[in-house]
Chain A
Amino acid sequence: MNYLTLFLMFCHIGLFTIGGGLAALPLMHDAFVESGILTNSEFYDMVAISQSTPGPIGINMATFVGFRNISYAGAVIATIGMVTPSLITIYLIARFVDDFEKNPIVRRSMRGFRTSAVGLIASAVYYVLIQSVINVDEIKEYGVTIDDLLAVVVCVGIGVLYYRTKCHPALCIAIGAIAGVFLF
């Protein structure tokens, strides 16, 4: 991949990440996993790290994916690409448009964007679920193993913990890591 392609890919992703920073995940999944540049596992490893470190997950992911593609220059180019569309859009709105957020068309489309973003983030859940927790291919070949059941238990456990305590994602990641080393 060359620099220009990487830049334009991330401009595309940055442009269509509407309705929440996590909405960048399905766009990136489509662009990099469906096309075979990254494996599903690699992608979600990056998601884990991006969630645990400072900074918006969208920016972290852009930097990470850019790095994986073209090392240090890629990290910079991808990150710049990601913010360029919003930089331009917001600059123009801040300079020239008043009451942008009050316009009814804007508000109704935003409701639509926010709601569809939930469905799209759910698709990101689906892709990690079927690969890392309930791997259908693996079950077809080897049957349901103790690892599969443990994965479900750990998943539910961490989910309940996160839901109840709203703890830092890094804690959930750490618990997952320990479970991974000792249980799986």
Chain B
Amino acid sequence: MLPMLKREVVEKYGWQDEQELLNVFAIGQSTPGIIAINVATYVGTRQRGLLGAIAATSGMVVPSLVIITVIATFFERFKENEYVYKAFSGIRVAVCAMLVVIVVGLARKAVTDNAGWVIMLGAFTLSVIVQMPIYMVVFCGGLSGVLFYSIRARAKSDRAPVVGPEEK
């Protein structure tokens, strides 16, 4: 999705240059919502303000809306069929497999230090075992990130040499 966004936004329409788009990706990942939608909203805002935001976001969303609604209509009708039922028991196995692969991939990128392990395992434990509401787990995750990494930044600067470049 991201290469396509680049092609359309930067090369075809020139709404942003490449560096700006990378910043938009960073913003899109730093806020609530889905990054693809966020990028669309951002570019739309920059181009035409609030109406642009709405237009761009709607554009991203309408194809899914149409396609899924069509599929969902048929799904309801065929769900009762014996073969469909059996097929989906296998399909759920496939979903499980793919999600495992995705989780492993995400974990390798996101969990790079001990704090990461604590946050990831903590989130799993809180949601599955403690059955904490997910919004609370999310909030704790963000808060932990701020706490852990602020403390680490403070500790790093405490350990830095006091003698500065001016004092030779």
| Residues of A participating in the B interface, judged by any CB pair closer than 8 Å | 12, 14-24, 26-27, 30, 41, 44-45, 47-51, 53-56, 58-60, 63-64, 67-68, 72, 75-76, 79, 83, 85-87, 89-91, 93-95, 100-101, 104-126, 128-129, 131-133, 151, 154-159, 162-163, 169, 172-173, 175-181, 183-184
Contacts and interface: CB of A to CB of B under 8 A. Distances in A.
Given A48-B94, A51-B98, A115-B141, A63 B68 contact: yes
Chain B interface size, under 10 / 10 to 19 / 20 to 34 / 35 or more: 35 or more
A108 B142 CA distance: 8
Interface string B63-97: 11101110111010000000100111111111111
Contacts of B5: none
B140 interface: yes
A172 B98 CA distance: 8
B103 interface: yes
B94 A101 contact: no
Interface of B: 1, 23, 26-38, 41-42, 45-46, 49-50, 53-54, 57, 60-61, 63-65, 67-69, 71-73, 75, 83, 86-104, 106-107, 110-111, 116, 119-125, 127-128, 133-135, 137-138, 140-146, 148-150, 153
Among A113, A124, A126, max chain B CB count under 10 A is at A113
A56 to B, nearest CB: 5
Given A45-B91, A85-B32, A112-B145, 20 more contacts: A48-B91, A48-B92, A59-B61, A75-B68, A79-B61, A83-B41, A83-B57, A90-B28, A95-B45, A105-B150, A108-B146, A111-B116, A115-B123, A120-B134, A123-B127, A159-B97, A159-B100, A176-B92, A176-B97, A180-B91
